[in-house]
Every structure is written in structure tokens, then in C-alpha cells.
Structure 1
């Protein structure tokens, strides 16, 4: 599991990836997590299987290497857990979910 502090520190770790698996409409309503890449959960498997050049063209960042730390976030944690499980089945063994996801992030940012 990833924590709020892990997610907050992502901009200081360019070798780690933060994926927000919410739909675009949700991001439009709430905003985004700093340094996150939006890949809605239904598109995640296809995205993680893209060739490196296509991934970078689509998402503006190099495709994560198989051993990279991947953190997944959503609204409340359920989709993030499914995304991390999916990534692990694709060989990304350092995939983690941020259980608190946007709900926790927003609450802690408001303090």
C-alpha cells in the first residue's frame, strides 16, 4: 500500500509513477493529484502493454520499466486496488494502491 506521504513525495522521485485511474469527468470535477498520469481503469491494461514510443506519445512520459514503483489512485481506493492487481499480473511487481486515494488527499490538503 502507498500512503499519503508516498504520494505527496512523488514529484521528488521521477523514477516512480503515480497513475490516477479515475475517468476524465471525475478529474474535471475534483482536480488532479500532482505529477499523476491519468489512465482510466478500463484503458489501463492496453496502456501498460503499449510499445514504449506509443506510451510516451500518449502520456507524455516514458513507459515505466517493469521494476518501477507504480502507485495507483482513484476516488476512494477500490479502483486503485484493482489497478495495482492488474499491473502486478502484467509483471509490474512494485505496483501499489493508494488506499485513501483522492478522498484522503483532498481531506489532508484542506487541513
Structure 2
């Protein structure tokens, strides 16, 4: 499981990936996590099966290598956990969920 501190440090860790699996409408309502890549959960498997060039064109960043460290976030942790499990089934062993997700992020940022 990923921690708030780990997620907060993502902008300083260019080799790590932070994926937000919320829908675009949710991001518009709440905001985004710094340095996160938005891929809604229903699109995740398709996105991770894209050729490298297509992934970069769609999401603005290189497709993660199979051994990349990846953190998944959503609103409260449930979809993030499902996303981490899904990409592990695709062979990405270093995927983990941020259980606090946006809810914890927003609470800690407002202090």
C-alpha cells in the first residue's frame, strides 16, 4: 500500500508513476493529484495494452516499463485497489494502491 507521503513525493520521483483511475467528471469536481496520469478504471486494461507510442500520445508520458513502480489512486481507495490488482495480472508486479486516495489527500492538504 502506498502512503500519503509517498504520493506527495511523486513529482520528485520521475521514475515512478501515479495513476488516478477516477472518471474525468470527478477530477473536474475535486481537482487532481500532482503528477498523476488520469486513466479511468474502465479504460485501464485497454490503456496498458496499447503500443508504447500510442500510450504516450494518449496520456502524455512514456508507457511504464514492466518493472516500473506504480501507485493507483481514486476517491476512497476501492477502485485503486482493483486497478493495482488488474495491472498485476498484466505482469506489472510493482503496482500498489493508495488506500486513502483523494479523500485522504484532500484532508491532509487542507491542514
Sort the TM-score into its range (normalised by shorter chain).
over 0.9
SS in 1 for 2:5: helix
Match of 2:96 in 1: 96
Q: How does 1:78-93 map to 2 (within 5 A)?
A: 78-93=78-93
d(CA) in 2 for partners of 1:91, 1:12 = 26
Post-superposition offset of 1:13: 0.6
Unpaired stretches in structure 1, ≥5 consecutive residues: none
SS in 1 for 2:57: helix
TM-score (norm 1): 0.99
Unpaired stretches in structure 2, ≥5 consecutive residues: none
Post-superposition offset of 1:102: 0.0
Match of 1:66 in 2: 66
SS in 2 for 1:64: coil
d(CA) in 1 for partners of 2:6, 2:85 = 19
Post-superposition offset of 1:31: 0.3
Match of 1:55 in 2: 55
Post-superposition offset of 1:82: 0.1
SS in 2 for 1:93: coil
**What is the alpha-carbon root mean square deviation over aligned residues?**
0.3
Match of 2:75 in 1: 75
**Structure 1: 4+ residue segments shifted above 3 A:** none
